[in-house]
Amino acid sequence: MSDILFVRNDGLFAVAHIDSAGELVETDVGHDATLDWTHIVPVGKDILFVRNDGLFAVAHINTAGELVETHAGDDATPDWTHVMPVA
């Protein structure tokens, strides 16, 4: 099963998956995500969130389908135009 992450610039987020019947099943929802992420990138099982002002966060979706932040900071170089995973 693959999870789907929905993120809005106003801090609303949701995690869901599509079940065997083809229905969208929401497993987590919140309104307290950081505002205005400019890049959200899957990196293996983790998710990297980057904002143009140097703010960043690392998270993953746990086995219960919940978004879990594992690291955050504000000292990344600002103004990246592209962020992408490299295998």
Model pLDDT for residues 34-60, shown as the tens digit of each residue = 999 999 999 999 999 999 999 999 999
**75 C-beta neighbours (distance < 10 Å), count:** 8
Confidence of residue 1 (pLDDT cuts 50, 70, 90): confident
Give the whole-angstrom CA distance, residue 13 versus residue 34.
10
3-73 adopts what CATH topology?
A: Thrombin, subunit H (2.40.10)
Instruction: Please state the separation of Cα 85 from the chain's center in Å.
Output: 14
Confidence of residue 78 (pLDDT cuts 50, 70, 90): very high
The phi, psi pair for 79, rounded to 5°, reads 65, 35
